[in-house]
């Protein structure tokens, strides 16, 4: 019985460790000082963030004034909105970044906005270490709604403040840790 209990405990701890690191961070685009708008400098914003597979982007904006289009690199470079890969229009859109080794491209499809700098290229690295990344303070939890490819951005002005302030870490590891602790207590 003791060896079965220990084996079950080992499996539970291993599953919790894997699942606890499978979810990435959520990044509110442009946060902390900006959002999906004409004032934020997206090149500066992405320059200090290492996006990884499992992370997600959260676009917050006024749906009556902007939208978000995921586009090809060619359409990103030319600010062409006519054949997007995906369209987002709610004003609170979450885009999963499930795959690493890719660059994903986003623009605002409102005429003139992309050429004024409202474009974002996000380079997504492969999911990294088994050490979970720290959560940033005071951002609400996010729910995934859509997915697609990423890279680096080009808009003008705005924030050079702490880029991690727009990041929300996953609480999955904490929840799984609680389950594992409960399993341990049940066996002893």
Regarding whether 175 and 108 lie in a shared domain, the answer is no
Structure tokens at 69: 């289009």
Regarding whether 139 and 55 lie in a shared domain, the answer is yes
Regarding whether 1 and 32 lie in a shared domain, the answer is no
Regarding whether 107 and 34 lie in a shared domain, the answer is yes
CA nearest 32: which of 124, 145, 162?
162
Regarding whether 133 and 62 lie in a shared domain, the answer is yes
Regarding whether 179 and 143 lie in a shared domain, the answer is no
Question: How confident is the model over 12-62, as pLDDT tens digits?
Answer: 434 433 444 456 899 999 999 889 999 999 999 999 899 999 999 999 999
Q: How far is CA 21 from the centre of its chain?
A: 14
Residue 127 has a pLDDT of: 79
CA pair distance 143, 96, nearest whole angstrom? 9
Q: Kindly provide the residue ranges of all beta strands, DSSP E only, lying in the chain, ordered along the sequence.
A: 26-28, 51-52, 55-60, 68-71, 86-88, 92-97, 102-107, 119-125, 146-147, 167-168
Structure tokens at 72: 């090809």
Question: How confident is the model over 153-186, as pLDDT tens digits?
Answer: 333 333 333 444 444 444 344 344 444 445 444 5
Regarding whether 45 and 13 lie in a shared domain, the answer is no
Regarding whether 128 and 118 lie in a shared domain, the answer is yes
Structure tokens at 30: 């442009």
**Total domains in the fold of the chain:** 2
Cis amide linkage into residue 32, ω under 30° from 0? yes
Residue 29 has a pLDDT of: 97
Regarding whether 157 and 82 lie in a shared domain, the answer is yes
- pLDDT greater than 80 at residue 5: no
Regarding whether 133 and 121 lie in a shared domain, the answer is yes
Residue 186 has a pLDDT of: 52
Q: Residue 15: which domain range? A: 1-23+170-188
Q: Where are the alpha helices (DSSP H) in 62-156?
A: 73-78
Residue 152 has a pLDDT of: 34
Question: How confident is the model over 121-162, as pLDDT tens digits?
Answer: 999 998 765 445 544 433 333 333 344 433 333 333 333 334
- pLDDT greater than 60 at residue 93: yes
- The domain spanning residue 44 has which CATH number? 2.60.40.420
Q: Tally Cβ neighbours within 10 Å of residue 170.
A: 22
What average pLDDT does this structure show over 77-105? 97
Regarding whether 141 and 152 lie in a shared domain, the answer is yes
Beta bridge partners of 150: 104
């Amino acid at each position: 019985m003791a060896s079965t209990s220990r084996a079950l405990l080992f499996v539970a701890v291993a599953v919790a460790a894997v699942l606890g690191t499978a979810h990435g961070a959520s990044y509110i685009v442009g946060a902390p000082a900006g959002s999906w708008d004409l004032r934020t400098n997206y090149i500066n914003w992405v320059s200090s963030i290492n996006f990884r597979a499992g992370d997600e982007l959260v676009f917050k904006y006024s749906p009556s004034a902007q939208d978000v289009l995921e586009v090809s690199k060619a359409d990103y470079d030319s600010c062409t909105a006519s054949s997007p890969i995906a369209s987002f229009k709610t004003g609170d859109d979450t885009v999963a970044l499930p795959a690493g080794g890719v660059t994903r491209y986003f623009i605002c499809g409102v005429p003139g906005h992309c050429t004024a700098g409202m474009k974002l290229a996000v380079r997504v690295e492969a999911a990294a270490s088994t050490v979970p990344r720290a959560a940033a303070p005071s951002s609400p939890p996010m729910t995934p709604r859509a997915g697609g490819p990423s890279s680096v951005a080009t808009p003008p002005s705005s924030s050079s403040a702490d880029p991690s302030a727009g990041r929300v870490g996953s609480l999955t590891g904490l929840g799984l840790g609680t389950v594992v602790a409960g399993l341990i207590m049940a066996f002893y």
